[in-house]
Structure 1
Amino acid sequence: MSLADKVWKGKRVTDLERLVVARLAAASGKPDWEVFMELDDELDRVTADAPRRPAFQAGYPVTR
Structure 2
Amino acid sequence: MSLADKIWKGKRVTDLEQLMIERLAEAGRQRPWEAFVALDDVLDHIAQDAERRLAFQAEHPVAPGIG
Tell me if both proteins adopt one fold, taking TM over 0.5 as the criterion: yes
Q: Quick one: which amino acid aligns to residue 18 of structure 2?
A: R
Q: CA RMSD in A?
A: 1.3
**Runs of 5+ in structure 2 lacking a partner?**
none
Who is 2:18 aligned against? Answer: 18
Correspondence 1:39 to 2:30: no
Q: Give deviations 1:26-54, integer Å, cap 9, x for gaps.
A: 01101110110000000001110000012
Q: Per the alignment, in what secondary structure is the counterpart of residue 37 of structure 1?
A: helix
CA distance in 1, matches of 2:16, 2:38: 16
Letter in 1 for 2:55: A
User: Match for 1:35: what amino acid?
Assistant: A
Give me the whole-angstrom Cα distance separating, in 1, the residues matched to 2:42 and 2:55. 22
| Correspondences of 1:40-59 after superposition (within 5 Å) | 40-59=40-59
Structure 1 stretches lacking a partner, 5+ long: none
Tell me the matched-pair count. 64
Q: TM-score, normalized by length of structure 2?
A: 0.84
Percent sequence identity over aligned pairs:
61
Q: Rg: which structure is higher?
A: 2
Q: Which has the higher mean CA deviation after the structures are superposed, 51-60 or 29-38? A: 51-60
